[in-house]
Structure 1
């Protein structure tokens, strides 16, 4: 959460940042003057209360708030998590900025992190590389379901078309009804017929995992060209995935079919999206995108230098890495996180990890495990001890 405002409040006794942060975190309410008036012009107090209440419900009440060497950075300590927090105050101690970073785990030592990751789901894999050297791996050649991480392959095809001169990052493309999919993302809310800059659509696909952007781009480059490693049929569009998840009989037919029959099944899918409640179900085996961590490291390193795309650092601490490229994917029972990172010494790192389960994963805890690993190059090195 990020709140930013400017200006100053009336004269009053300045509030300790530690005290005010612990107060607003623990709630359930806080005083109106804990935040500067300018904040409420952007975010109503009721929404702030709701956001802070959600943080508290996920991570628990703060048992301590600790300062750091950075005067604007504090550590909110709960029973199980540490939440790095950036805080700004005006001269009267009112909050003008508040940013909660991803939580870190407290129950696992760094040297035990990778082993602990293996224990969190029936199917688990990871690969950690530095400068082409494998430092740690677990089932890294197994092709597990990775959700939206497959969009790296769409990006790769798009970049190839730009390199070939067939497309330009600055050209405009048109959103059609056939591209509209369910979230993630926001482009499904845009009017059909609206034109978008190609680079912006690609950024939406990667940064916020926009499904409508993805299906638009797969249409643009040709779905038949988006082939995942080891597959004999093109990658599913997000719409097609939703249709198959909603129809068990058709999904089974698709699983059993060869490439030609699969193409016929997909061509016969209805134009209208299925009801959302029918697609919000756990991993449907065989109806997903299956890629190994080794293959994901290869593709993310291939596309990582495309400018203007990788603006979302995921759970990695961006202040501690020189450069980052991240794409993840999730649905009920699936989580993948794939990173290409560069440290101050010019070392290139790749970390890719996947969990699959028939039941819902503890996403909060898994994100915190990876955030703890990738907090800094030093934390990665500590995990390798």
Structure 2
């Protein structure tokens, strides 16, 4: 589930009810009962929430959050336990079809006691198991694949897999390869994280797209923007500055099983440009070509493969050439890359932990959680490297492709979050 209202909407796995330290209050109970209807369908929010809440969380954003909860857990069915820690604050459980969701509910002390604070503090799926989550991932429309592995000195050991060797489009997940090469180069003394690099050719998305051309940035700040914010300008700058062929070499170094499909590593500008109708001839040659032929094409057609040749609107709404102009890896390949970063990443590991990929409260179930995902119409991938509270390391990689339709990204994130929480349970017993 997306972090749609960052300061107010927080997800966790286990429900931790607060003990009631106040007597019955009809106004609080009334708002608790009304929450069921507010979550069930749009309407009535202005009478339920205070203007303070709706200033912080606009109505359309709140409705998106409520819709994502329904998509993830089914219809809200009933109000469960209501517990209070003060006359105006406490927790309310709402029983959905597939889970119980806990909310921290705060009301104003003055009549009519509108709701001034609402946080999602717990989501517990009913009788959840890895097999149930796996079945739901497998049933998604299009093609899915995932792998869960425990990592130790002898390498990855599979725990649960589905089509783990299927080559999938992975979108921005490829940026982990660039991070790996930055780690290798700094460890070898070829680079320093403090090296200053000029911001290179602009691509799409991210705050750096609006920065001045050639703006000086450190290797570390570019890597952080690339991973934590998935900034495409940072990724393209690093891919070219570190030397594309050295980044390419990270695929065999980390055990990628289908180099012919994955090489060379495209810049984001090249990938978008290859998707353009005017470049169908280039895309056909690229897909059919050998590695050398592909590298030659990228050099010879460089003028046609820049951002000013791209109509962003033509690729923003529908899946476009996701089986050709893309980055490809299987879940097992990504597990190998994550394990390489675990063993050799060094200063890259804190960079991966800036954006945990799953809701912050769920991320706190782990001693360490590093993440990089990717998404575009028809493509979504999530890759997580984690260390449990007992010190054990795990890697999870999941991908979903559908060339015929956009994906429900919130649903996929919710499924992977459930998977991660189930994986964490032995560490928190």
With the shorter chain as reference, the TM-score category is: 0.7 to 0.9
Identify which range, 249-258 or 276-285, moves more after superposition.
Answer: 276-285
CA distance in 2, matches of 1:376, 1:204: 30
Equivalent position of 2:341 in the other structure? 303
How do 1:233-248 and structure 2 match up within 5 A? 233-246=263-276, 247-248=279-280
Contact 1:320–1:377 (Cα < 8 Å) also in 2 = no
Contact 2:196–2:219 (Cα < 8 Å) also in 1 = yes
Aligned length: 366
CA distance in 2, matches of 1:198, 1:245: 29
Equivalent position of 1:312 in the other structure? 355
Match of 1:231 among 244, 253, 259: 259
Q: Cα distance, 1:62 vs. partner?
A: 4.6
CA distance in 1, matches of 2:326, 2:420: 27
Contact 1:321–1:342 (Cα < 8 Å) also in 2 = yes
Q: Cα distance, 1:190 vs. partner?
A: 2.0
| 3-state secondary structure, aligned to 1:320 | coil
RMSD, aligned CA: 3.5
Equivalent position of 2:283 in the other structure? 251
Q: 1:75 to 1:342 in 2, by over 3 A?
A: farther
How do 1:199-238 and structure 2 match up within 5 A? 199-227=220-248, 228=251, 229=256, 230-231=258-259, 233-238=263-268
Contact 1:203–1:310 (Cα < 8 Å) also in 2 = no
- State whether structure 2 residue 81 is matched by structure 1 residue 53: no
Match of 1:292 among 330, 337, 361: 330
Match of 1:326 among 371, 392, 398: 371
Q: 1:255 to 1:80 in 2, by over 3 A?
A: same
Q: Cα distance, 1:30 vs. partner?
A: 3.6
CA distance in 2, matches of 1:74, 1:198: 47
Equivalent position of 2:146 in the other structure? 126
| 3-state secondary structure, aligned to 1:341 | strand
Q: 1:84 to 1:366 in 2, by over 3 A?
A: farther
Contact 2:47–2:114 (Cα < 8 Å) also in 1 = no
Q: 1:172 to 1:82 in 2, by over 3 A?
A: farther
Contact 2:32–2:82 (Cα < 8 Å) also in 1 = no
Match of 2:165 among 134, 141, 151: 141
**Consecutive unaligned residues in structure 2, runs of 5 or more:** 9-25
Q: Cα distance, 1:36 vs. partner?
A: 8.0
Equivalent position of 2:178 in the other structure? 154
Deviations 1:53-96 (A, max 9, x none): 22234444754455699977665554566556566678778766
Equivalent position of 2:43 in the other structure? 28
Q: 1:327 to 1:240 in 2, by over 3 A?
A: same
Identify which range, 70-79 or 275-284, moves more after superposition.
Answer: 70-79
CA distance in 2, matches of 1:318, 1:350: 14
CA distance in 2, matches of 1:191, 1:245: 27
Equivalent position of 1:277 in the other structure? 313
**Consecutive unaligned residues in structure 1, runs of 5 or more:** 5-12
CA distance in 1, matches of 2:245, 2:91: 48
Q: Cα distance, 1:198 vs. partner?
A: 2.7
Q: 1:158 to 1:78 in 2, by over 3 A?
A: same
Contact 2:366–2:424 (Cα < 8 Å) also in 1 = no
Contact 2:272–2:325 (Cα < 8 Å) also in 1 = no
Q: 1:322 to 1:80 in 2, by over 3 A?
A: same
| 3-state secondary structure, aligned to 1:243 | helix
Identify which range, 279-288 or 72-81, moves more after superposition.
Answer: 72-81
Contact 2:165–2:330 (Cα < 8 Å) also in 1 = yes
Q: 1:335 to 1:151 in 2, by over 3 A?
A: same
Q: 1:212 to 1:342 in 2, by over 3 A?
A: same
